[in-house]
Amino acid sequence: MGNMKCCLRRDDNQSDILDEIRIGNQLKKKRAVHVNYTVIALCLKFIYKLRTLAQMRRYAKSQDACLSLLNARNDKVEESKETFVKHIAENLPKYKDQGKPFADNRKLEFKGMVKLPNGDKYQGTWAKKPTDLKNTKECEVIHGKGVYVFANGTELNGYFFEGKIAGFGRCIFYNGDIYEDQYVDEQYSGDGKYRFEAARIMAGFYIGEFKDGTITGNGKFNLRSLNPLAKLFGPI
């Protein structure tokens, strides 16, 4: 009888040990599956971020990314955005005037806000410009420092040379985009900063080199995706 009891106890102990081993193996399998899913999720997140960042950079360097002064002249909106632009300007850092008056001997005359024939408005300095080769006739042109407001609300603050923006300036577009720094022949040129409003596939800003009005990519990008999936994968 004693031997039988010992055998039964041994069998019970062995079965308990086997059960513990089975449970341990099952837990290991579950943990292994969990780790695999975690690794897959991290890989997908990494791939998504790389792909989205590359897509945003390609778009930022395209000709469609940055609005230009040509857009400001030609794009028509249902109602003026002057109030919207003014609100943005009031909440921006103070405009840093880094320009210098043009080195010419023409007398500059300041005028308050003037409504132009094309519907635009201008406040700033004017100068007289000869209209013929003999300099017998003259006309007034926008020249020097001033603020030019397009009919669609875009506001251009900076220096003008005979009606064209030249040198340093800041442009706040009707949709909230902002460019600030150098202009050459009314195009972004040299180093500058462009802020993308949250209205397309991305938002954020770029600080760096511009050429012929477009981003070269030789600078710093700080962009965030507006894709709905970005909420799942986190900020780029």
- pLDDT tens figures, 24-57: 666 665 555 555 778 887 888 888 888 888 888 8
- pLDDT tens figures, 132-173: 766 667 889 999 899 999 988 899 999 998 888 888 899 999
pLDDT (0 to 100) of residue 46: 83
Average pLDDT, the chain: 79
Q: Is the pLDDT of residue 2 over 90?
A: no
Q: What percent of the chain has pLDDT above 90? A: 17
pLDDT (0 to 100) of residue 122: 94
- pLDDT tens figures, 74-111: 888 777 788 888 888 888 877 777 776 667 778 888 99
d(CA 43, CA 187): 42
Q: Is the pLDDT of residue 14 over 70?
A: no
pLDDT (0 to 100) of residue 88: 85
Q: Which has more pLDDT, 1 or 55? A: 55
Which pairs from 196-201 meet CB under 8 Å and 24+ separation?
Answer: 196/60, 196/65, 196/223, 197/173, 198/226, 199/175, 200/59, 200/65, 200/226, 201/55, 201/56, 201/59, 201/225, 201/226, 201/227
- pLDDT tens figures, 184-194: 888 898 889 99
